[in-house]
Amino acid sequence: MARVDLIIPVYNEERQLEASVHTLLAWCAGHPEHEWRIVIADNASKDRTLEIARRLEAETGGAVRALHIPVKGRGIALRTAWLTSDADVRAYMDVDLATDIEAIPALVDPIAAGDIDVAFGTRLDPRSERTRGLKREVISRTYVFLLRRLMGLDVSDAQCGFKAISRDAALELVPLVRDNAWFFDSELLWVAQRNGYRLREVPVRWTDDPDTRVRIVHTAIEDLRGIVRLRRHAVPRALRAGGREA
């Protein structure tokens, strides 16, 4: 049995946070093979998100942790949550649960068993199922093409909000990632691959959220800037050599 933190980074999510947390709590109760904890990483919300998170923490006796990060940025939320966690496996997912949570074991179990270091969901693998608009589909595929062509990143999807990492890999890799926003995911995978850590894609069932807080064009521009930055700098080296990619 491993201790697993399921981290939900949130910004102004008062409308759906409580329902999503209760859905996850019910799922965790039905999967006793690990010791689960849900961490709500509040990312400088201006609504009642933090209030709701703290109430859920008080009501659940440790099954939920409220973590307040006073600076906005998904990367900084994940950096803070992963580096302050004491869990064996640190995972994260989006608050809308756009990724079917039945894929959690495929994400977490190989890391808990010591078989891989980083697992990440993919919406673009032929085995995946997805419901999304044409605009986001084209942007995602173009972005992955650039990652593969310009950075040599061997993935089919880098930005799916569904990833997990081992304790050791988190402590070794996260400090090497410079981005604090949406490019954090891509940079983490690139640093992990270039340092020889064992990576595995997990095909998922994914449904687009029309109420997403993601600004698609702005995020795409920031991602392109991130690619340019990484191409200009040497690969940051981890303290230890990772294993082979799985």
Summarize pLDDT for 180-224 with one digit per residue, the tens: 999 999 999 999 999 999 999 999 999 987 655 556 677 778 888
Domain assignments of the chain as residue spans, ordered by start: 3-232
> Does the domain made of 3-232 have the CATH classification 3.90.550.10?
yes
| pTM attached to this predicted model | 0.91
Return the higher-pLDDT residue of 237 and 19: 19
**Predicted pLDDT of residue 53:** 98
| Catalytic site positions | 185
**Predicted pLDDT of residue 52:** 98
DSSP-assigned letters across all residues of 32-83? TTSEEEEEEEEES-SSSHHHHHHHHHHHTTTSEEEEEESS--HHHHHHHHHH
pLDDT in tens, 10-44: 999 999 999 999 999 999 999 999 999 999 999 99
Distances (CA, A) of 79 to 21, 34, 71, 139, 185: 21, 23, 12, 26, 11
